[in-house]
Amino acid sequence: MGRSLDNIFLERLWRSLKQEAVYLHELQDGFHAKRIIKDWINFYNAERPHSALDKRSPDNVFFDTQ
């Protein structure tokens, strides 16, 4: 059994996804929801600056680019 703090990163990810994407759109069906979520995850990884990553995106840190 894991500790309650083990899930904090996933909980924060889901909270951001819901607040920044899902709640802002009137989702028509599963296909529309999938597109909205896919676009947001791409934005989250490639463009969105993260304070824990010194204002860099995860892709920039992983691929070590500026």
The residues pairing with 50 across neighbouring beta strands, listed in sequence order, are: 56
Phi–psi pair at 50, nearest 5 degrees: -115, 130
Instruction: Give the residue carrying structure tokens 């899902």.
Output: 22
User: Do 55 and 49 touch, CB atoms closer than 8 A?
Assistant: yes
State which amino acid sits at residue 56.
R
Length of the chain: 66
Residue-wise pLDDT for 19-56, tens only, equals: 999 999 999 999 999 999 999 999 999 999 988 899 99
d(CA 30, CA 44): 21
pLDDT at residue 8, as a whole number: 85
